[in-house]
Amino acid sequence: QLHLQESGPGLVKPSETLSLTCSVSGGSISSGGYYWDWVRQAPGKGLEWIGNIDYSGQTQYNPSLKSRATISMDTSKSQFSLRLTSVTAADTSIFYCARHGGPGAGIPRAFDFWGRGTMVAVS
């Protein structure tokens, strides 16, 4: 069973950079057919997709973040990471990492595994 766990500081100062890591166990992040995603939820708000990375290192991002987000992968550690620059109070959220199936036979086109989330406050 795949397991994802987010880690990182719970408090970041305004204008600084938020850095989070997602550790993946029970499966390989190098296998094709999947995207590794970051999703966030601000207090009292809905979920917002931040971006993802695939096994080859190709990334996609939510245009609303205006290039502040960078997602990277370290396959040797079975981890992928998020950096969000120039944070403001509006970035205060629970951040989730998740796996999403891509085009491929038998792969659900959905977020099939999620971490429990980590709360990050900007203050």
Partner 1 sequence: QSALTQPPSASGSPGQSVTISCTGTSSDVGGYDYVSWYQQHPGKAPKLMIFEVTKRPSGVPDRFSGSKSGNTASLTVSGLQADDEADYFCSSYAGIELPYVFGTGTTVTVL
Per CB under 8 A, contacts with partner 1 among 44-63 are 46-49, 52, 60, 62-63
Per CB under 8 A, contacts with partner 1 among 69-98 are 96, 98
Lookup: tokens for 104: 């491929």
Sole residue written with tokens 């550790």: 23
Q: Please compute, for residue 51, the number of CA atoms within 13 A of its CA located in the half-sphere on the CB side.
A: 23
| Among positions 100, 118, 120, 122, the unique one binding partner 1 when judged by CB under 8 A | 100
Sole residue written with tokens 């499966």: 27
Does residue number 68 form part of the binding site for partner 1 (CB under 8 A)?
Answer: no
Please give the biggest Cα pair distance in the chain. Answer: 45
Binding segment (CB under 8 A) for partner 1, from list 22-30, 43-51, 72-80, 83-91: 43-51
Binding segment (CB under 8 A) for partner 1, from list 25-33, 70-78, 85-93, 110-118: 110-118
The Cα–Cα gap between 80 and 8 comes to 12
Does residue number 104 form part of the binding site for partner 1 (CB under 8 A)?
Answer: no
